[in-house]
Amino acid sequence: MSEDIIATLKENVIQGRKSLEDEGIDEDLTGTPGVVELTQSALDNNIPLDVIVTQGLTAGMEVVGEKFATKEYFIPDMLASAEAVGAAMDILKPLLDASNVETKGKFAIATVKGDIHDIGKNIVAILLRGAGYEVQDLGIDVPTEKIVEMVREEKPDYIGLSALLTTTMVNMGEVIEALKENGLRDKVKVLIGGAAVSDEYACEIGADAYCVDGFHAVKVLDAFHQAKA
Amino acid sequence: MLVIGERINASNKSVGQAIASKDEEFLAKLAKAQADAGADFVDVNAGVGFDARENATATMEWLIDIVQRATDRPLAIDSDDPDTVQAALRKYRGDTVMINSVNAEPERLEVIGRLAAESQASLVALLMGKGGIPSTVEERLAASEVIMTHLTSLGVKEEQVFFDPLVIPISVDSTQGIITLKTIEQIKSRYPAAKTVVGLSNISFGLPNRGMVNRAFLLMAAYAGLDAAILDPLDAKVMSLVKVADLLTGKDAACRGFIRAHRKGILAD
């Protein structure tokens, strides 16, 4: 029974079905329980939280990530799955907070100073939340000082910087320099992403990694997380 | 429909590399090809190369020079940095020119607006302020009012202004296509002399079969009153739809342009 619920939960994450009313990626699924209902029944059946999260939600998102990478899935598919997982996490959050189940780490994300692009940043935030990270979104056009301040006060394990413009990507380097000056650079891993940047640019400014997209960001963070453990 | 050729943009990987490696021939060819394909303006975005910000201006001047030697089509100077725009305007020898772009932030309107007034340049104005792209038609119209009031006070004429209602990918928010179209309609009724322009391919970001989505949206936007589009002129299918858009919206008297394009064999189905 428990295994059935978890398998169905995972399948519905892959289908991008938040609730009963959603038709899903395959047609004709309307009326069957979606991720929200299945998460609730998993709780009602006393399935452990970590099983719901890792074997249901995260396992489903991993499949979504693979399908996105092979271009079977597109952005709307991925967003539907991520939203479904987000809704499930809203149900689980209070319980997770009260239990000893740890998140994989704290991740802060910002679009750097001068740049107001937020779509890519939001997708990365949604996917990392779905992958079990505690995500804090600092928003767009975020001044360097504010990012430094945040790293000092909140001590995130990772910070993601986004820039889409060749004119604003230089501000990513500025953030890294400011972290160094404040003695915070070794306290946090810095990941960068966005249309303007590249692996080479990450090297040039001394970032820890460049991420092509949100799923890549999940992989990179998971690798850092495992290296730490 | 005015076509602004989008290909010379440093954020495109091959163009970025050509700029970094000073590949003049590649860039000149790309400029000429767009003009030959029917671009009315050739957009020039030099980014910042792979160096520091200080080099943005020098890179832009260098690129303007290459492009204007390759074609006599007017250029759209694509930068949000006033110093770079000013340097590009000085370097540019043609009469007709466009600046791409400004938004509703007063400091930027002031500086770029003055440059547009002095050089009588057309000016692309994004309907947003500091907080990013507004999600509603009303907020975008409010931005248009801030922009037009400020620009006209600097001596920019209404017909110089190309409002960009902003296109958010339909893959991210399915309500946004209609919002862009309604904004175009409203702008055209509020400022009949002003123009509207969109960056077309944003609409299809994240989707398969992007070309057909772009082409369909172009026609819908033409109906809403779109005057210009930033697109890839080397895409024969979208360029054919530009002709169709003019044909169907009464901008092609006696269907001359459309039939001429047919005779030339440049219409692609």
Neighbours of A85 (CB within 10 A): 29
- Strand ranges across the sheet with A106-112: A134-142, A106-112, A158-162, A189-193, A209-210
Residue B52 has pLDDT above 70, yes or no: no
DSSP for residue A187: G
- With a cut of 70, say whether residue B53 has pLDDT above it: no
Q: Does A203 touch chain B (CB under 8 A)?
A: no
Q: By the CB < 8 Å criterion, does A69 face chain B?
A: no
Nearest residue in chain B measured CA to CA from A123: B172
Cα separation values, B57 from B28, B69, B71, Å:
19, 19, 21
Is residue B135 a contact partner of residue B128, using CB atoms and an 8 Å limit? no
Q: Are A178 and A188 in contact (CB under 8 A)?
A: no
Contact: A167, B80; criterion CB under 8 Å: yes
CA distance readout (Å), A48 to A2, A43, A163, B222: 10, 8, 39, 56
pLDDT digits (tens, 9 = 90+) for A91-146: 998 888 888 777 789 999 999 998 888 888 988 998 888 788 889 999 999 999 99
pLDDT tens per residue, range B112-166: 999 999 999 999 999 998 878 898 999 999 999 999 999 999 999 999 999 999 9
Lowest mean pLDDT among B11-15, B63-67, B101-105: B11-15
- pLDDT band at residue A88, thresholds of 50, 70 and 90? very high
From chain B, the residues in CB contact with A75 under 8 A are 169, 171-172, 205-207
Element (H, E) at A94: helix A75-98
Averaged confidence pLDDT in chain A: 91
Decide if A166 touches B, using CB distance below 8 A: yes
Q: A3-38 b/e with 16+ CB inside 10 Å = b?
A: eebbebbbbbbbbbbbeeebebbeeebeeebbbbbb
Average pLDDT over residues A58-75: 91
What is the per-residue pLDDT across A180-228, written as a single tens digit (0 to 9) for each?
999 999 999 999 999 888 999 999 999 999 999 888 999 999 999 988 8
Q: Please tell me what DSSP assigns to residue A56.
A: I
Q: Above pLDDT 70, what percent of chain A?
A: 100
Overall average pLDDT of the B216-234 stretch:
98
Residues of B engaging A, defined by a Cβ cutoff of 8 Å: 10-11, 16, 47-48, 52-53, 56, 79-81, 128, 130-133, 168-169, 171-172, 174, 205-208
C-alpha distance from B32 to closest chain A C-alpha (Å)? 24
Q: For residue B156, which amino acid is it?
A: V
Task: Determine, for residues A195 and B11 on separate chains, whether the beta-carbon distance falls below 8 Å.
Answer: yes
Q: Which of A79, A124, A126, A167 to mutate to test the interface with B (most CBs of B within 10 A)?
A: A167
- DSSP lists the bridge partners of residue B164 as B126
Q: What is the 3-state secondary structure (H, E, C) of chain B?
A: CEEEECCCECCCHHHHHHHHCCCHHHHHHHHHHHHHCCCCEEEEECEEEECCCCHHHHHHHHHHHHHHHHCCCCEEEECCCHHHHHHHHHHCCCCCEEEEEECCCHHHHHHHHHHHHHHCCEEEEECCECCECCCCHHHHHHHHHHHHHHHHHCCCCHHHEEEECCCCCCCCCCCHHHHHHHHHHHHHHHCCCCEEEEEHHHHHCCCCCHHHHHHHHHHHHHHHCCCEEEECCCCHHHHHHHHHHHHHCCCCHHHHHHHHHHHHCCCCC
Rounded alpha-carbon distances, angstroms, from residue B61 to B41, B79, B90 = 17, 12, 9
The per-residue pLDDT for B226 is 98
Closest-CA residue of B relative to A173 is: B52
Using a CB-CB cut-off of 8 Å, the residues of chain A touching B131 are 116, 140
Chain B CB within 8 Å of residue A154 CB: no
Among A82, A227, A142, A168, which Cα is nearest to A159's? A142
What pLDDT, on a 0 to 100 scale, did the predictor assign at position B164?
A: 98
Chain A interface, best mutation among B12, B15, B21, B53, by max A CB count within 10 A: B53
Supply φ then ψ for residue A131, to 5 degrees.
Answer: -90, 5
Evaluate whether B91 touches B64 at the Cβ level (below 8 Å): yes
- Alpha-carbon span A209 to A186, nearest angstrom: 14
Task: Answer yes or no: do A141 and B168 touch at CB < 8 A.
Answer: no
Q: At what angle do helices B82-91 and B106-119 cross, to 10 degrees?
A: 10
Write the secondary structure of B147-168 as one string of H (helix), E (strand) and C (coil).
Answer: HHHHHHHCCCCHHHEEEECCCC
User: Does B49 have pLDDT greater than 80?
Assistant: no
Amino acid at A39: T
- Tell me whether residue B198 is exposed, middle or buried, using C-beta atoms within 10 angstroms of its C-beta: 0 to 12, 13 to 18, 19 or more: buried
CB within 8 Å of A29: residues ≥ 6 apart: A15, A17, A22, A23
pLDDT at B249: 97
Which residue from A117, A123, A167 is facing B81, i.e. has the nearest CB?
Answer: A167
Domains annotated on chain B, with CATH: 2-235 (3.20.20.20), 236-269 (no CATH)
Residue B237 pLDDT level (bands cut at 50, 70, 90) = very high
Q: Residue B260 is which amino acid?
A: R
Q: Is B73 exposed, middle or buried (0-12, 13-18, 19+ CB in 10 A)?
A: buried
* Structural domains of chain A in order of their starting residue, each with its CATH number: 2-98 (1.10.1240.10), 106-228 (3.40.50.280)
A178 has a chain B CB within 8 A of its CB: no
CA of A74, closest CA in chain B: separation in Å? 6
Interface contact A116, partner B, CB < 8 A: yes
Judged by phi (left if over 0) then psi (alpha if -120 to 50, else beta), residue B177 lies in alpha
Q: How many residues does chain B have?
A: 269
Instruction: State whether B171 and A195 contact (CB < 8 Å).
Output: no
Q: Which chain A residue has its CA at the smallest distance from B131's CA?
A: A116
> What is this model's ipTM?
0.79
Are A140 and B132 within 8 A, CB to CB?
yes
Query: pTM of the full predicted structure?
Result: 0.85
Judged by a CB distance cut-off of 8 A, whether residue A79 touches chain B is yes
The verdict on a CB contact (< 8 Å) between B205 and A116 is no
**Chain A CB contacts of B11 below 8 Å:** 164-166, 195-196
Q: Confidence band (pLDDT; 50, 70, 90) for B48? A: low
Contact A224, A217 (CB under 8 A): no
Among A221, A148, A135, CA closest to A185: A148
Q: Which distant-in-sequence residues (6+ apart) come within 8 Å of A12 by Cβ?
A: A24, A33, A34, A35, A38, A60, A84
The mean predicted confidence, pLDDT, of chain B is: 94
